[in-house]
Amino acid sequence: MGISSGVGGNKFAPEAAITRQEMFTLLYNAIKTIDKLPGADAGQTLSGFTDSGSIAAWPQEAMTALGQAGMISGSYDRLDPIGHSTRAQMAQVLYNLLNK
């Protein structure tokens, strides 16, 4: 489906831990591919998070769209984009998506 192009250096790294910005990008690419992007109705911007400046350039579109749709809530005003994601966090993101 083309939702991932790997981690660079011609590697895919299926056993590697996933960062939150990678998780949000994969999710965004998947729902964009099936034309199911949620509308921007939450009024939330990434600038409202204290660590928004640490988001890499490549996931900006995905994280902005998912943030505006209210699918990214962060924790204590932080997104932790380069932190690793837990199964519980992914479950919460999927729950948010399915309840849109």
Domains of the chain by residue range: 20-98
Burial of 64 from C-beta contacts in 10 A (0-12 / 13-18 / 19+): buried
- Digit-coded pLDDT (tens) for 50-98: 999 999 999 999 999 988 888 887 888 899 999 998 888 888 888 877 7
Rounded alpha-carbon distances, angstroms, from residue 36 to 6, 27, 54, 67, 75: 23, 11, 28, 15, 26
User: Using CA atoms, how far apart are residues 16 and 85, in angstroms rounded to an integer?
Assistant: 12
- pLDDT for position 12: 83
